[in-house]
Amino acid sequence: MGHYDMFVTDVLVIGAGLAGERAAIESARNGLNVTLLSLVPPRRSHSSAAQGGMQASLGNTAMGKGDNPDVHFMDTVKGSDWGCEQDVARLFADTAPIVMREMAHWGVPWNRVSLEKRIYDGKEIHEDPDKVGLISARNFGGTAKWRTCYTSDGTGHTVLYTMDSIVQKYGITVHDRVEALSLIHDGETCYGAIVRDLRNGELRVYTAKSTVIATGGYGRLYGASTNAVINEGTGMSIAYETGVVPLGNMEAVQFHPTGIVPSWILITEGARGDGGYLLDKNGYRFMPDYEPNKKELASRDVVSRRMIQHIRAGYGVDSPYGQHLWLDIRHLGAKHINTNLREIATICREFNGIDPVHELIPVRPTQHYSMGGIRTNIDGQAYGLKNLYALGEAACWDLHGFNRLGGNSLAETVVAGKIVGEKIAEFTKDVTLNVSTSLVEDHLLMQQKRIENLRAKKGTENVYELRNRMETALNTNVHVFRTQEHLQAAVDELRELHKRSKYIQLRGDGNGADPELAFALRLPGMIRLALTIATGALARTESRGSHFREDYPKRDDENWLKRTLAYWREGASEPELQYEPVKITESQPGDRGYGEATAGAKSGVKQ
Amino acid sequence: MARELTFRIMRYNPETPDVKPHLQDFKLKEEPGMTLFVVLNKIREEQDSSLRFDFVCRASICGSCGMLVNGRPTLACRTLTKDLSEVTTLLPLPVFKLLGDLSVDTGTWFREMSIRTESWVHDDSEFDPTAEEERMDNEKALQIYEGERCIECGCCIGGCATANIRPDFIGAAGINRIARFMVDPRDKRTEQEYFEVVGSEDGVFGCIGLMACDDNCPVGVPLRGQIAYVRRKMASAGWKMKVKS
Ligand SMILES: Cc1cc2nc3c(=O)[nH]c(=O)nc-3n(C[C@H](O)[C@H](O)[C@H](O)COP(=O)(O)OP(=O)(O)OC[C@H]3O[C@@H](n4cnc5c(N)ncnc54)[C@H](O)[C@@H]3O)c2cc1C
Ligand code: SF4
Ligand code: SF4
Ligand code: FES
C-alpha cells in the first residue's frame, strides 16, 4: 500500500473560498472539528477577485429606497428566467441583509452612505441624512433597486480577507496546496476524499463525517474566461465521477458582457452600474435602442446577446483578436475612476496600456460563471450520496436558474455558507464515522494506479493539445448564441477528446509535484464536464436565460420548465440526462420586463 | 520584426536536491500584449513541462505571482514583455521558503504573520441579527480599505533588507496589517495590547526606514505612511508603559 498520511476530521470542507470558509466557520462555532482544503492559500481563491459587490436589500440609499426581500426575490426569480428554486430564492433574499451586517460586524469596511454629492445618469442624488453611516449600495444589472453592497472595487478581496480572519480566529485547520482527486464512497455514503499534496506529489487520505464541496466554478473549460486559472471544475468532476451524484443545469453558462480584449480579464459590472456606456464602431451608444428601459443594465445574458447581435449587424470594431465593442467610462471623471473604479483603471493601464479616463476600453462577452453544478437540496445536501454537501459556485442549490444576477453570487456564497453551514453542523453532530479501511485503500489504490499509468508513459496524446481543443470546442460552439449544428459539432469533438484523454503521454517525468502530471490528472474530468455542458445544451430545445438557441428562440415553459440532471454512470462514455421540475412557490413564469420578449423599439438599428 | 526574447530562469527542484540551484535559458518569440503569464505558460507547455511557478487570477488581484524580475520584486502577471529588454532574469522571491523554480511559499508566511499579529477584529460583543448595523463614517471605511488592499504578494518583504537578515521580522506587510486594525473602530484592542504584538525589533522597530517596500508594492498600499503611523503610535505607547513602570 505504501506510505501515506491520514487525517480524520468531523467536517471536511474542500475549497477555501467564501462559500467553504463561511460553512467551516459555522461548523467550528458549533464545536465541530473542521479541516479546510485548498489548491492555493485561501486568500488567493477566486472569491478574492470579485470586485463589484454583493446584493442584499438593506434599502439604505436614496436609489434603494423601498427595497426589501420581496423585491430582491422577484428580481432573482425573473433574472433566473423562472429556472430557479423559489423556496431557495426566498430563503436567500430574506437572509442576505443579515449576513451583510454580520460581515460588517466581523470587519468588512463596506462603503457607507454619505452626503457627498453624486451624479448618476445626469441626475443629482440626495441621500437621506438619517441613513448616513449605514451600508451603502450601488447599481447592478437586472435589479429594480440599488442593492449591491460593496467596498470600493475590492469587494471579494475584503470580504474574503475578513472571512479568513475569522477562520484564523477560530483556529480552523487549513491545508493549502492540496488537491482533492476523488471522493471515498461506497455508492451510498461519502466518507471523505483522496487528496494529493501539490508540494511533493504524495497522496493523502482524509476521512470525515461530512464532506463539503465548495470548489467554485469551471470557467477554465472555456479558454476565454474571466475566471482564475485554478477554476477547472475539479470539485464538480469528483462528485460526478461517483456515478450517483448528478450535476444540475450544466448547460446554463453565464457570459459577462465586458471581458477586456484580449486577456479576458473582467471589467466589473460596477463600471456600467456607475454609469458607463457601451459604444459601437461609430461611437454610437446602441443599448438604449435594444433595451429602452434598462439599457446597459439589463441582465447579463440580455446585454451579452445584444452585443453579439450588434456586432453581427456590422457595428463591431475590428481587431487582431476578433471584433469587439467599446466600454466608455470617460464621462465619470478622473476622481470617480481613480477611486471607485480604481481596479478597472489599473487593469486597463497595466494589461492594455489604456487610460480609461481618456480612452475607450475594448470589450466582448466572455465566459464568466457556472450556474450549474452539484445538485443539492435546499439544505445543501448533494443528491445521490449521504454525508455529502455542496455550496457556492460548485453547487446547483439552485438560486440562479438559467441566469445569475450580478452581485447574487458572492451573496450566495455567504448566505448559503451560513444556512448550509448550520445544517451541516446540526447533521454532523449525530453522525458516527464508520468507514472500512479496505474501502479507503481501494480508493487510494485507484488514484495511485492513475498516477503510475501516467508515469509509465504508455500513451500518445499531449495534454495541452487536448485542453486547447476542448477550449476551442466550447468557445466556438457552446457560446452566447447556440444552434443544433454547432452543439452537435461540440458534442462530437468532445466525445472524441474524451476517448483520447485516456491515452495521455507526459513529456516530463511526472515525479513529485510535477505540474504537467497534476494537469493530466484533471483533464479527463474537465472534458466530461465540457461534454455534459454541450450535451445538455443540445437537448434543451428552447431559450431560457443564458441558454439561447437561435433555432428555438422562445422560452418553452410547457416542455422545458424543468432542470437538467446529468449523471455519469460508472464506465460510461457520455452523460445520461434526466429532468426534474423546478419549484414554484410564489411567482408563476412571466415576462422578465427586459430582454427579447419586451424590447420592441429598435430605432436606428438595422437588424 | 518580433523580437526573440531570452528568459534566464532559476531552476531548483527540492525533490532532486543534488542538482544545485542554477539558471537556465529559454528563448521565445515576442507577441503583442505579451505578459510574463503568457511567457511562462508557453515555456511550460512547449519547452519544459516541469517548470514551476504560481498564477491564480492572472490579473494582479490575488498576489500569487510575486518574483524577482531583473532583480526587482514585482507581479509577473502584470509585467509586459514590451517593457523588458531582450534578456530577462527571473528569480524566486527571497525570504520565503522555496517550493521549486519560481514558486515560493508566501501563503504559509502570511498565515503565520496574520496569526501572530492576531489580524482580526477584536470585539467581544455578540452579533445581533435583528439590529441595524453599527454606523461608520464613509471616510473611515475608505481609510480602512486603503490598508486592507494588500494582496499578500510578498514583494515588499522580498526587497526588504531587514526581512532578508531577520527571519521573524513581520515586514511592511505586517506593519500595514496592524495599521489596518488600529484605525478600525471595531477593533477594541488597546495601544498596549498592540505594543505587545509589534513593539519590538521583529515588529515596527526593526524597520530601518529605507522604504524599498513602498517602491515595490505593486498595488500602491501607502506603506510609508502606514509604517510612520504605527511607529508613532508604538513609540508613544512604549513611552507611556515606561512612565508607568
Ligand atoms: C472576475 C470575477 C468577478 C466577479 N465579481 C463578482 C461580483 O462582483 N459579485 C458577485 O456576486 N459575484 C462575482 N463573481 C462570481 C463570484 O466571485 C464567484 O462565484 C464566487 O466567488 C465563488 O465562490 P466559491 O467560494 O464558491 O468558490 P471560489 O472562491 O472559487 O473558491 C474555490 C476554492 O476551492 C478550492 N479548490 C478547487 N478545487 C479544489 C480541489 N480539487 N481540491 C481542493 N481545493 C479545491 C480553491 O483552491 C478555492 O479555495 C465574479 C467572478 C469573476 C470571475
Ligand atoms: S522601510 Fe522597513 S519594512 Fe520597508 S523595506 Fe525598509 S526595512 Fe523593510
Ligand atoms: S504591502 Fe504591497 S508589496 Fe507588501 S505584500 Fe501587500 S501588496 Fe504585496
Ligand atoms: S496571478 Fe494573481 S496577482 Fe498575479
Mean of pLDDT values over A179-187: 98
Segment holding B23, helix H or strand E: strand B22-29
A contact residues 160-179, partner B, Cβ 8 Å cutoff: 161-162, 165-166, 168-169, 174, 176-177
Rounded-to-integer distance, Cα B57 and Cα A219, Å: 12
Give the CA angle between residues A527, A532, A536 to the nearest 5°: 155
Looking at residue A51, its pLDDT comes to 85
User: Which residues of chain B lie closer than 8 angstroms to A265, CB-CB?
Assistant: 58-59
CA angle (B103, B109, B110) in 5-degree steps: 110
Q: What is the DSSP letter of B80?
A: B
Q: Is the pLDDT of residue B32 over 90?
A: no
Residue A403 has pLDDT above 60, yes or no: yes
pLDDT in tens, B129-155: 999 999 999 999 999 999 999 999 999
**Is A199 within 8 Å of A513 (Cβ atoms)?**
yes
pLDDT higher than threshold 80 for residue A598: no
Band the pLDDT of A353: cuts 50, 70, 90.
confident
CB atoms within 10 A of CB A82: 22
Among partner residues A44, A339, A514, which is closest to B64 by beta-carbon distance?
A44
Cα(B236) to centroid of ligand 2, in Å? Answer: 20
pLDDT of residue A352: 85
Asked if residues A125 and A115 have their Cβ atoms less than 8 Å apart, the reply is no
Q: How far apart are CA B95 and CA B113, in angstroms?
A: 13
**Does ligand 4 come within 6 angstroms of the Cβ of B155?**
no
Instruction: Please give the pLDDT value at position A606.
Output: 33
Positions of A annotated as catalytic residues are 256, 272
Ligand 3 centroid, distance to B225 Cα (angstroms): 14
Q: Are A59 and A200 in contact (CB under 8 A)?
A: no
Cα(B148)–Cα(A518) distance, rounded to whole angstroms? 33
Q: Do residues A360 and A331 make contact, with C-beta atoms less than 8 angstroms apart?
A: no
pLDDT at B59 over 90: yes
Residue A599 has pLDDT above 60, yes or no: no
- B71 Cα to the center of ligand 2, angstroms: 17
**Closest Cα to residue A360, out of A302, A281, A297, A417?**
A281
| Residue, of A597 and B244, whose pLDDT is higher | B244
Cα–Cα distance between A410 and A419 in angstroms, integer? 14
Cβ-based neighbour number of residue B168 at 10 Å: 13
In A329-431, where do the E strands start and end?
A: 361-370, 373-375, 388-390, 395-396
Kindly indicate the confidence band of residue A274, based on its pLDDT and cuts at 50, 70 and 90. confident
- Band of residue B239 on the pLDDT scale cut at 50, 70, 90: confident
- Residue A227 scores a pLDDT above 80: yes
Predicted pLDDT at B197: 87
> Could you tell me which residue, A303 or B244, shows the higher pLDDT?
A303
Reported pTM: 0.95
Which residues of B, range 87-146, sit inside 8 Å of A by Cβ? 99-100, 106-108, 110-111, 114-115, 118-121, 123, 127, 129, 131-139, 141-142, 144-145
CA distance A109 to chain B (A): 5
User: Hey, what long-range contacts does A578-586 have (CB within 8 A, 24 or more apart)?
Assistant: A578/A246, A582/A82, A582/A83, A582/A84, A582/A85, A582/A86, A582/A398, A582/A401, A583/A85, A583/A86, A583/A87, A583/A88, A584/A82, A584/A86, A585/A86, A585/A87, A585/A90, A586/A73, A586/A77, A586/A86, A586/A90
CB-ligand 4 contact for B64 (6 Å cutoff): yes
The upper half-sphere exposure of residue A199, i.e. CA atoms within 13 Å in the direction of its Cβ, equals 14
Judging by DSSP bridges, how do beta strands B22-29 and B98-100 pair with one another? Answer: unpaired
Say if CB A189 and CB A384 are below 8 A apart.
Answer: no
pLDDT band at residue A273, thresholds of 50, 70 and 90?
confident
Does residue B84's CB lie within 6 angstroms of at least one atom of ligand 3? Answer: no
pLDDT at A607: 31
A404 lines ligand 1 (CB under 6 A): no
Asked if the C-beta of A136 comes within 8 angstroms of chain B's C-beta atoms, the answer is yes
Grid cell digits, residue A224: 476565454
Q: Is B126 exposed, middle or buried (0-12, 13-18, 19+ CB in 10 A)?
A: exposed
Give residue B245's pLDDT: 59
Q: Is the CB of B62 under 6 A from ligand 4?
A: yes
Q: In this structure, which residue's CA is closest to atom 4 in ligand 3?
A: B156
Averaged pLDDT, A384-411: 96
- Look up residue A412 and give its amino acid: E
Chain B positions in Cβ-Cβ contact with residue A217 (cut-off 8 Å): none
Nearest CA to A370 among A448, A474, A516? A474
pLDDT score, position A603 = 33
Q: Cell match 527542484: residue? A: B13
Mutate to test the interface with B, among A95, A150, A173, A229 (most CBs of B within 10 A): A229
For residue B81, the chain A residue with the least C-alpha distance is: A351
What ipTM does this complex have? 0.97
Checking if the pLDDT of A99 tops 60, the result is yes
pLDDT tens figures, A188-226: 999 999 999 999 999 999 999 999 999 999 999 998 999
Question: Which of B86-123 are b and which e, b meaning 16 or more Cβ less than 10 Å from the residue's Cβ?
Answer: eebebbbbbbbebbbbbbbbbbebbbebbeebbbbbeb
Ligand 4 centroid to Cα of residue A44, in Å, is 9
- A104 → chain B, closest CA residue: B133
How would you classify residue B220: left for phi > 0, otherwise alpha for psi between -120 and 50, otherwise beta? left
> Does pLDDT of A3 surpass 80?
no
Nearest protein Cα to ligand 3, atom 1: B173
Which residues lie with the beta carbon below 6 Å from any ligand 2 atom? B 160-163, 171-172, 207-213
One DSSP character per residue, A233-298 reads -HHHHHHHTTSSSPEE-TT-EEEEEEEETTT--B--THHHHTT-EEE-TTS-B-HHHH-TTTGGGS
* CA–CA distance, A580 with B234 (Å, rounded to integer): 63
Does the CB atom of residue A15 touch ligand 1 within 6 A? yes
Does any ligand 3 atom lie closer than 6 A to the CB of residue B65?
Answer: no
Residue-wise DSSP of A166-229: HHHHTT-EEEESEEEEEEEE-SSBEEEEEEEETTT--EEEEEEEEEEE-----GGGSSSBSS-T
Asked whether residue B170 carries a pLDDT value surpassing 90, the answer given is yes
Question: Average pLDDT, whole number, for chain B?
Answer: 94
- Considering only CB atoms, B57 lies closest to which of A49, A109, A353, namely A49
Mutation test of ligand 3: which of B176, B211, B227 has the most ligand atoms closer than 8 Å to its C-beta?
Answer: B176
**pLDDT above 50 (res B68):** yes
For residues A314 and A301, the model is more confident at A314
Say if residue A596's pLDDT is above 80: no
Task: Check pocket membership of A266 for ligand 1, CB cut-off 6 A.
Answer: yes
Distance, CA of A331 to CA of A353 (rounded, Å): 19
SS3 B207: coil
pLDDT bin (cut points 50, 70, 90) of residue A600 is very low
Backbone conformation region of residue A378, classed left if phi is above 0, alpha if psi is from -120 to 50, else beta: alpha
**Residue B169 phi, psi dihedral angles, 5° rounding:** -65, 130
Q: Average pLDDT, whole number, for chain A?
A: 93
What is the pLDDT averaged over residues A391-397?
Answer: 98
Peptide bond into A262 cis (omega under 30): yes
> Would you call A168 and B134 a contact, using CB atoms and an 8 Å cutoff?
no
Retrieve residue A342's grid coordinates. Answer: 480604481
Q: Residue A591 has what pLDDT?
A: 84
Place of cell 495511485: A448
Report the residue from B110, B115, B141 with minimal CB separation from A110: B141
pLDDT tens string A445-482: 999 999 999 999 889 999 999 999 999 999 999 999 99
Q: What is the pLDDT of residues A28-75, one digit of tens each?
A: 999 999 999 999 999 999 999 998 899 999 999 999 999 999 999 999
Given a contact cutoff of 8 angstroms between Cβ atoms, the answer to whether A308 and A348 are in contact is no
**What pLDDT score was predicted for residue A595?**
64
Per-residue pLDDT at B244: 66
CA distance A325 to A72: 31
pLDDT attached to residue A69: 97
Q: Which three cell numbers mark B220? A: 500602491
Q: A557 to chain B nearest CA, in Å?
A: 39
| A499 has pLDDT over 90 | yes
Is the CA virtual torsion A18, A19, A20, A26 positive or negative? positive
Residue A262 pLDDT class (50, 70, 90 cuts): confident
